[in-house]
Amino acid sequence: MRKTETLASWIEQSNNIVFFGGAGTSTESGIPDFRSAAGLYQTEQHSPYPPEVMLSRSFFVKMPEIFFDFYRGKMLHPDAKPNGCHRLLAKLEAQGKLKAVVTQNIDGLHQMAGSKEVLELHGSVHRNYCMGCRRFFELEKVMASKHLVPRCPYCQGIIKPDVVLYEEALDQHVLISSMDRIAHADLLIIGGTSLTVNPAAELVSYFRGSRSVLLNLDPTPYDGKAGLIINDKIGDVMEEVGQLLGI
């Protein structure tokens, strides 16, 4: 039996599926990841400031112009569209099989595909708030700003993306909800993540079910624990699985 057939069979037999995903989930939608050979950490290594420095809270506060120059140029992909992975997950949720998507991504592609129960560990580029008056703004407002550093039209405060920067803590409600969903899943599908960034990567340790699947191009620390490993493009794999399931 091919691995995609095994995955399709496990999905058919499951009624409490949780998907845990990282940057690799969206690479086939044209959004670069961080840690692969073609990721941002490699392509930007000759920059005066490493990406992990520019994406830190202290750098954002001290040098907002450089932060937003990098953020606008490298982190925003408003034309990106969901791929086969996003679409299948949304269909499985609509069927009542998939109970939650836990994602490290900030691109909103799961929601664009139709997923409703999405736990965003690192926030979303589609939510932005004024650091002064706390009003919220859509991504379009930030993109349309004539100034490099977007300012609130009401109080002139800096509009910060509602994303978790380095040196910032994850939202505890989202974190606890993610733990609970993963702990009660009967099938955990892990996709597009190196499982090296904590505390997010530690969430998979809460899984108590008997079946877990790992979809990633490269090896991960979880390889020895997964019941099924597929080292291929996640969008293509899930597209094929959807065809096998007839959805």
User: Dihedral, CA atoms, 38, 39, 43, 47, nearest 10 degrees?
Assistant: -170
Q: How far is CA 190 from CA 17, 44, 186, 226, 227, in A?
A: 11, 27, 13, 9, 11
Closest CA to 143 of 161, 155, 157, 156: 161
CA–centroid distance for 175 within its chain: 14
Our CA angle for 113, 87, 83, nearest 5°, is: 90
Tokens of 108: 């909103």
Among the listed residues 122, 147, 173, 184, the single catalytic one is 122
Does residue 110 have an active-site annotation?
A: no
Residues annotated as catalytic (active site), given as ranges: 122
